[in-house]
């Protein structure tokens, strides 16, 4: 039990919570970085050299782009998981918004206006489900399951043929625009500086309140590792093409949501409701409004995920959103990132890392020639492992869930 106790302490630490998912991601990259070249060598015996295909700059670029939609939805799903709820309709919501976007631009609506319209529609779709959960008292699993089925049908109504091309220049530019290399490095530097400023500010606030602060020897390696990872990602992307605007938008969006959840009264209320709804209600928190707002945020992020998907593929299809594995991958990314299914603990940044774990696993298995069945089984195994770790870490504290 000592190992479980240390794991629990690590996951409660702001920086330590990133360690398990980072180790999982590193293990997957090392394995496929070695295994995929061997597969290529055995299937191409005439090849004079063994290429590290999985770790190539081109594949890393594609991996980040493939994971962007999953990560966007996972960030939104994390919000409702923090409440101890679930949203099974996020992928279908993204599909409906993407389909509506395609119809609007085809009808002549300017791309940026269409994007704003579908984002508003996403908020309404999410908030409507939140009202049923908060004010009618229907469990979120039932409400969003009904939403999943209903939105799937709505998407089929919007797309009778199941597919629609999106050729609007504004929409397509979201995935096509690349940040110049020097600007990408400058942005990476600003991100690291912002990280340092946040850490110093937090340390100063804890000193003012006479709380224990982390030592410089504990903080410096964490900040240094963060800086190395940020610059490594940007340099890798630059070596193939450049930093994509869509990835930058995803990071900016996650930063905003992360700030809201950790540094505002609304964010603290989300954690309070997720930890103990009755106690939150007794201290004056409007639990019902918090739930509605949280589901509205999920709807907004689902709509943005739909926009990202339409931009990347240049089309909208039922299979890519509502009829595929997008929902399971998004929920899996949030859980693998360390967000508790019981509420009260998690991070939107970990959701992005979880999306990279899911994306890396699928990408590596594809390059290795694995079947779709293998991909589903491996993804299911990693997901159940993440949930088991969460359950064991809670059991160490005597928690029983909801």
* Alpha carbon separation from 171 to 105, 119, 124, 177, 304 (Å, rounded): 9, 13, 22, 11, 11
Model confidence at 300: pLDDT above 90: yes
- Containing domain of residue 210, as a range? 181-241
104 and 119: one domain?
A: yes
pLDDT at 222 over 60: yes
Handedness of CA 144, 392, 71, 265 (dihedral sign): positive
pLDDT tens string 128-149: 999 999 999 899 999 999 999 9
pLDDT, mean over the chain: 84
Is there a single domain that holds both residue 137 and residue 43?
Answer: yes
DSSP alpha helix (H) spans, 276-341: 277-282, 287-313, 318-321, 326-336
Q: Per-residue confidence at 17, pLDDT binned at 50, 70, 90?
A: low
150 shares a domain with 21? yes
- Return the DSSP state at 401: -
Residues 293, 387, single domain; the answer is yes
In a domain, 399, yes or no: no
Residue 170 sits in the same domain as residue 79: yes
**344 found inside a domain:** yes
d(C-alpha 148, C-alpha 187), whole Å: 38
Residue 94 has pLDDT above 90, yes or no: yes
Instruction: State whether 164 and 68 are in the same domain.
Output: yes
Q: How many structural domains comprise the chain?
A: 2
- Give 243 or 319, the one with higher predicted confidence: 243
- List pLDDT tens digits, range 158-177: 988 878 888 889 999 999 99
pLDDT at 319 (0 to 100): 84
Residue 99 lies in a domain: yes
pLDDT of 27 above 90? no
Residue 230 maps to a domain = yes
Taking only Cα atoms into account, the Rg of the chain, rounded to an integer number of angstroms, comes to 21
248 is a domain residue: no
pLDDT digit string (tens) for 36-46? 776 554 555 55
Task: In whole angstroms, give the CA distance from residue 61 to residue 233.
Answer: 9
**pTM for the complete prediction?**
0.87
Q: Are 167 and 186 contained in the same domain?
A: no
Q: Could you tell me if 286 and 358 lie in one domain?
A: yes
pLDDT at position 4 is: 47
Do 138 and 50 fall within a single domain? Answer: yes
125 and 189 fall within a common domain: no
For 60, the token pair is 């890393």
pLDDT in the model for residue 363: 86
| Residue 157 maps to a domain | yes
Domain check: are 14 and 158 in the same one? yes
Asked whether residue 250 is domain-assigned, the answer is no
- Based on the fold, state whether residues 157 and 289 are members of the same structural domain: yes
Beta strands in 11-131 (DSSP E): none
Residue 312 belongs to some domain of the structure: yes
CATH number at residue 311: 1.10.3470
Are 129 and 295 in contact by the 8 Å Cβ rule? The answer is yes
Are 53 and 313 within 8 A, CB to CB? no
């Amino acid at each position: 039990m000592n190992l479980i106790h240390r794991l629990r302490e690590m996951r409660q630490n702001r920086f330590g919570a990133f360690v398990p998912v980072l180790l999982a991601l590193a293990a997957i990259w090392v394995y496929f970085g070695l295994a995929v070249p061997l597969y290529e060598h055995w299937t191409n015996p005439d090849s004079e050299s063994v290429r590290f295909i999985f770790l190539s700059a081109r594949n890393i670029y594609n991996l980040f782009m493939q994971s962007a939609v999953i990560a966007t939805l996972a960030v939104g799903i994390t919000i409702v998981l923090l409440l101890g709820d679930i949203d099974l309709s996020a992928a279908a919501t993204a599909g409906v918004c993407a389909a509506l976007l395609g119809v609007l631009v085809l009808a002549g609506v300017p791309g940026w206006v269409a994007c704003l319209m579908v984002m508003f529609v996403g908020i309404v779709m999410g908030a409507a489900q939140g009202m049923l959960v908060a004010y009618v008292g229907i469990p979120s699993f039932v409400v969003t399951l009904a939403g999943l089925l209903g939105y799937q049908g709505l998407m089929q109504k919007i797309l009778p043929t199941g597919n629609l091309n999106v050729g609007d220049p504004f929409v397509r530019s979201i995935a096509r625009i690349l940040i110049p290399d020097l600007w990408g490095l400058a942005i990476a530097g600003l991100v690291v500086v912002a990280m340092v400023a946040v850490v110093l500010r937090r340390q100063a606030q804890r000193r003012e309140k006479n709380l224990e602060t982390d030592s410089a020897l504990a903080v410096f390696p964490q900040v240094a590792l963060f800086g190395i990872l940020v610059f490594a990602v940007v340099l890798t992307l630059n070596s193939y093409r450049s930093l994509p605007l869509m990835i930058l938008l995803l990071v900016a969006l996650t930063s905003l949501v992360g700030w809201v959840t950790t540094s505002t009264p609304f964010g603290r209320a989300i954690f309070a409701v997720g930890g103990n709804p009755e106690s939150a209600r007794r201290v004056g928190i409007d639990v019902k409004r918090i739930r509605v707002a949280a589901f509205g945020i999920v709807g907004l992020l689902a709509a943005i995920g739909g926009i990202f998907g339409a931009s990347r593929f240049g089309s909208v299809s039922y299979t890519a959103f509502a009829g595929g594995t997008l929902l399971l991958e998004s929920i899996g990314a949030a859980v693998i990132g360390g967000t508790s299914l019981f509420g009260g603990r998690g991070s939107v940044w970990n959701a992005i890392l979880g999306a990279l774990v899911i994306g890396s696993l699928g990408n590596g298995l594809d390059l290795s020639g694995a079947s779709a069945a293998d991909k589903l089984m491996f993804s299911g195994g990693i997901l159940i492992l993440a949930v088991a770790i969460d359950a064991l870490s809670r059991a160490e504290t005597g928690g029983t869930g909801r």
